[in-house]
Amino acid sequence: MLTLSFMRHAFVASTFIAIVSGFVGVFVVARNLSFLTHTLSEIGFAGGAFAVFIGWPVLNGMIIFTMLSSILVGQMSIKESRREAVTSAVSALFIGLGILFLSLSSANASSATNILFGSVVGINLTEVWQLIYLSIVVILIIFAVYRQLKFTSFDAIGARVSGLNAALYSVIFLIVLALSVSVAAQIVGSLLIFILLTLPAASAKYFTHGVAKMIGLAILFSLLGTWLGLFLGYLTNWPVSFFIAVIEVGIYCCALVKQKLSGAA
């Protein structure tokens, strides 16, 4: 299987995506941003469709759209009570834009399905390097603000009292999230992006208590899903995204059962 260059590319790309997802997902879960992550994936779809429309690489369109809109959504929904409504409105707008750009472009239906559901086995070496660079940028940003991000994500009140600028770290995180959505969309597609950015981290919190340990475990669960998904996709010729979704949901269900059993003990 690894003698095939496209499978090698897929494995390298999915490894970096899994690592980024593990890092970022822990903060997505802590900040209750799963819905926004889902919306960003739809915005990524619109960005990808826009890129197809004007003849850019899909990743570039996704990055521009997700970064601009994540800051916009973040600023519009500073009041938590209106976060869901704002997120829904932005989501609706961008799905509409995505459909418009696709209908205006001469691209065929497979462009849309690639953006929506991912195309990791179709990824070339240049795209692999682009993914690696972006992944390194995301991880470096997280390292640089790790302590502050951790405090503002897991204890917003304590962080505010200690003088941390919560709004600043929120914007930094939204930019990191937008980059991660664009990176991860390459493998699972924009519709299934929230799988890798939410489920491994959500599962990890039932197995350990500590941010670093949660990140480690979330990376492990992401790697398990993406590697096994690629392997099963190769064997069956079924979509890789389907296997990743099933594996990650399976891990999450195991985590819930484990939590229920330990609660009953």
Closer residue to another protein (CB): 97 or 149: 149
Taking the C-alpha atoms of residue 115 and residue 50, their distance in angstroms, rounded to an integer, is 11
Binds another protein (CB under 8 A): choice among 56, 154, 227, 234: 154
What mask, x for binding another protein by CB under 8 A, covers residues 91 to 130? ----------------------------------------
Asked if 263 and 214 count as a contact pair (C-beta separation under 8 A), the reply is no
Amino acid identity, position 28: V
Sequence-distant (6+) residues with CB within 8 A of 205 are 29, 214, 255
How many residues of this chain interact with another protein, rule: CB under 8 A?
28
Instruction: Tell me if residue 149 falls in helix, strand or coil.
Output: helix
83 binds another protein (CB under 8 A): no
Q: Which of residues 4-63 bind another protein (CB under 8 A)?
A: 30
Alpha-carbon distances of 264 from 108, 250, 257, 260, 261, rounded to whole Å: 53, 21, 10, 6, 5
Asked if 194 and 120 count as a contact pair (C-beta separation under 8 A), the reply is no
CB of 157 to another protein, least distance (A): 6
Q: Which of residues 159-198 bind another protein (CB under 8 A)?
A: 159-162, 164
- H or E element that contains 168: helix 166-188
Amino acid identity, position 172: I
150 binds another protein (CB under 8 A): yes
Part in contact with another protein (CB under 8 A); list of ranges 96-104, 178-186, 190-198, 209-217: 209-217
CB of 260 to another protein, least distance (A): 12
- H or E element that contains 185: helix 166-188
Asked if 44 and 94 count as a contact pair (C-beta separation under 8 A), the reply is no
Binds another protein (CB under 8 A): choice among 155, 253, 254, 257: 155
Part in contact with another protein (CB under 8 A); list of ranges 51-59, 142-150, 221-229, 236-244: 142-150
CB of 155 to another protein, least distance (A): 5
Binds another protein (CB under 8 A): choice among 136, 212, 235, 253: 212
CB of 217 to another protein, least distance (A): 10
CB of 40 to another protein, least distance (A): 23
Instruction: Tell me if residue 56 falls in helix, strand or coil.
Output: coil
The tokens for 200 are: 């491994």
148 binds another protein (CB under 8 A): yes
Taking the C-alpha atoms of residue 153 and residue 234, their distance in angstroms, rounded to an integer, is 38
Amino acid identity, position 186: Q
Interacting residues with another protein (CB under 8 A): 30, 143-144, 146-148, 150-151, 154-155, 157-162, 164, 204-206, 208-212, 214, 259, 263
